[in-house]
């Protein structure tokens, strides 16, 4: 193997590394794509509905923990109070 044929092999490594870096950068950054949120995203505004009825009242922090938490059994779903 002569010196000239080995030289291109040595330059191939850094060039391939730079190309891979640029491809990954472009993939994750999406620099070649644009999205105009204000123009392309439609949001239908509706009037606010609801009431002013009082649901409950909390004065101070009397309970050390929130009721229905899953501290001990964190894989069990928390049941919502109705």
- The length of the chain in residues reads 82
Q: Are the C-beta atoms of residues 26 and 32 closer than 8 Å to each other? A: yes
Cα–Cα distances (Å) from 4 to 7, 21, 51, in that order, read: 5, 27, 82
Give, for all 82 residues of the chain, the pLDDT tens digit. Answer: 456 677 877 888 899 999 999 998 888 887 666 667 767 777 788 888 888 888 877 776 677 777 777 777 767 665 666 6
pTM: 0.35
Give the whole-angstrom CA distance, residue 45 versus residue 71: 39
């Amino acid at each position: 193997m002569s010196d000239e044929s080995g030289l291109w092999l040595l330059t191939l490594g850094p060039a391939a590394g730079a190309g891979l870096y640029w491809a990954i950068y472009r993939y994750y950054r999406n620099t070649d794509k644009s999205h105009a949120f204000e123009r392309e995203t439609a949001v239908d505004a509706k009037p606010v509905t609801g009431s002013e009825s009082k649901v409950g009242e909390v004065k101070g922090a009397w309970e050390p923990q929130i009721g229905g938490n899953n501290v001990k059994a964190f894989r069990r779903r928390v049941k919502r109070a109705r």
